[in-house]
Copies of this chain bind each other. A is one copy, B any other.
């Protein structure tokens, strides 16, 4: 049988008939690899399709399909029937070098990839918090997802998707789904005292993207930006990415110290603030400071980015109005999120911007990621309009107030010697200052806590400069009362061990 001359150990193709990959693809892949690794050299004749089909126990059409593909992609030359050869046109030196580098494919990952300067800076811009989903206590900012009205939400989802408006599905809208923008404007006007129309609302994929969008559109490299000290660490990454110069400004019981900001960096291009409930300390910016901040922004043509991250949850008194509502000069860019009133992975947030910024920001947005997925926008709009949204907030407000009492009680009975905690009229976490007498560092507590199954953020991590506070951020909103009590007991043992 002269045909056996065709047989080559190089072509010992190993077919996996149980694989999801079609036979012709497996044959193609293995011959291609043989060519690329130099096992089949240029000019080498392949066995005929008939021989190979016999040998492999597959139909000739299967082999022909593989051969077609090899030919189409330029690995082989010649006509089927008159013999198929490995193409001459392959750059030989490239192929020769192949065999030795085949290893690389299987995982030689020691080499450091060349990142951009920004890419490299971002690797360390923000302290990594590895969130273990099974460690709820005491992650801040996580709402109670177990009591979300999933049944209703699921029905709204199914309803929308059963027969979605096709022009919406095909086109979408960069600034967001219009009825959702309207629902957001109504909500913010009524509850947060904003002066805004639906046209000023830009729906984003969460607050982080909202801040990133504003930073890219408004900040030049080297521009100074006031940030609160201590403050939200996520801001630092955004500002690092646009090469802005961060100017930390101290925060006290009346919010960010505007006079200090003007003294240190009067020419800043932007101030990023949390006026309603300073993150993480919880203070409310005084009216005098608000007006002074607005006046500074007016005089210097600076922007104020108001991050209103958890103002829905206020247990005492009434919600403090947003700074935006005081702005008469189009200086305030207001940023909010549904992560905390709905659930974190909904990834829907929004900016409320002066009208003249809507189009410029939308243009930038269209190049970043075009638009927020339509996915849940109509469902969220319907959820708000149906009243379930307001009802859910009211329920959670009651629940979180109870949980704040639980954690306060537990801390009082277990840790009053070491921690100094005051109730907070709003929010989803408490700040517990470590008493100087305890002589224990917050970072040490956090580290030991992580090893023992607790997620605790040390207050020192929220400082860009040298921390002048030593304390712990204890989230309570998303944690069951019994887990709060168990967690506090664990925390007390940590303090004992560190003592």
Within 8 A of B (CB), among A32-89: 32, 36, 65, 68-69, 72-75, 87, 89
Nearest-Cβ distance from residue A56 to partner chain B, whole angstroms: 19
Q: Is A423 an interface residue (CB 8 A)?
A: no
Within 8 A of B (CB), among A285-308: 286-288, 291-292, 294-295, 301
Pick the residue among B72, B91, B102, B346 that contacts A288 (CB under 8 A): B91
Decide: A374 and B356 in contact? CB cutoff 8 A.
no
Given contacts A295-B94, A345-B373, contact A320 B237 (CB under 8 A): no
Q: Is A3 an interface residue (CB 8 A)?
A: no
Decide: A242 and B166 in contact? CB cutoff 8 A.
no
Decide: A94 and B291 in contact? CB cutoff 8 A.
yes
- Identify the stretch in A10-18, A151-159, A434-442 within 8 Å (CB) of chain B at 4 or more residues: A151-159
Q: Which residues of B contact A87 (CB under 8 A)?
A: 287
Decide: A329 and B104 in contact? CB cutoff 8 A.
yes
Decide: B123 and A168 in contact? CB cutoff 8 A.
no
Q: Which residues of B contact A329 (CB under 8 A)?
A: 101, 104
Decide: B360 and A123 in contact? CB cutoff 8 A.
yes
Q: Is A2 an interface residue (CB 8 A)?
A: no
Q: Is A326 an interface residue (CB 8 A)?
A: yes
Copies of the protein in its oligomer: 2
Q: Is A263 an interface residue (CB 8 A)?
A: no
Pick the residue among B294, B295, B344 that contacts A171 (CB under 8 A): B344
Q: Is A405 an interface residue (CB 8 A)?
A: no
Q: Is A234 an interface residue (CB 8 A)?
A: yes
Q: Is A489 an interface residue (CB 8 A)?
A: no
Q: Is A466 an interface residue (CB 8 A)?
A: no
Q: Which residues of B contact A360 (CB under 8 A)?
A: 113, 115, 119, 123
Contact flags (1/0) for A183-217 with B, using CB distance below 8 Å?
00010011001010000000011101100100011
Task: Kindly state the separation between the CA atoms of A363 and B107 in the bound complex, as whole angstroms.
Answer: 21
Q: Is A495 an interface residue (CB 8 A)?
A: no
Q: Which residues of B contact A98 (CB under 8 A)?
A: 328
Q: Which residues of B contact A20 (CB under 8 A)?
A: 186, 190
Within 8 A of B (CB), among A162-179: 162-164, 166-172
Decide: A368 and B212 in contact? CB cutoff 8 A.
yes
Q: Which residues of B contact A241 (CB under 8 A)?
A: 216, 364, 367-368
Q: Is A126 an interface residue (CB 8 A)?
A: yes
Nearest-Cβ distance from residue A126 to partner chain B, whole angstroms: 7
Q: Is A30 an interface residue (CB 8 A)?
A: no
Contact flags (1/0) for A325-346 with B, using CB distance below 8 Å?
0101110000000000001111
Q: Which residues of B contact A21 (CB under 8 A)?
A: 189-190
Nearest-Cβ distance from residue A461 to partner chain B, whole angstroms: 16
Measured CB to CB, the nearest residue on chain B to A143 is B170
Q: Is A1 an interface residue (CB 8 A)?
A: no
Q: Which residues of B contact A168 (CB under 8 A)?
A: 133, 345
Q: Is A447 an interface residue (CB 8 A)?
A: no
Q: Is A260 an interface residue (CB 8 A)?
A: no
User: Which of A116, A166, A190 has its CB near the most chain B CB atoms (within 10 A)?
Assistant: A116
Decide: A153 and B161 in contact? CB cutoff 8 A.
yes
Task: Kindly state the separation between the CA atoms of A247 and B363 in the bound complex, as whole angstroms.
Answer: 23
Task: Kindly state the separation between the CA atoms of A97 and B218 in the bound complex, as whole angstroms.
Answer: 27
Decide: A370 and B478 in contact? CB cutoff 8 A.
no
Measured CB to CB, the nearest residue on chain B to A98 is B328
Q: Which residues of B contact A102 (CB under 8 A)?
A: 328
Given contacts A234-B367, A364-B119, A369-B205, contact A162 B190 (CB under 8 A): no
A-B contact pairs, 8 of them (CB 8 A): A109-B356, A113-B330, A116-B219, A119-B218, A145-B166, A157-B161, A237-B367, A347-B374
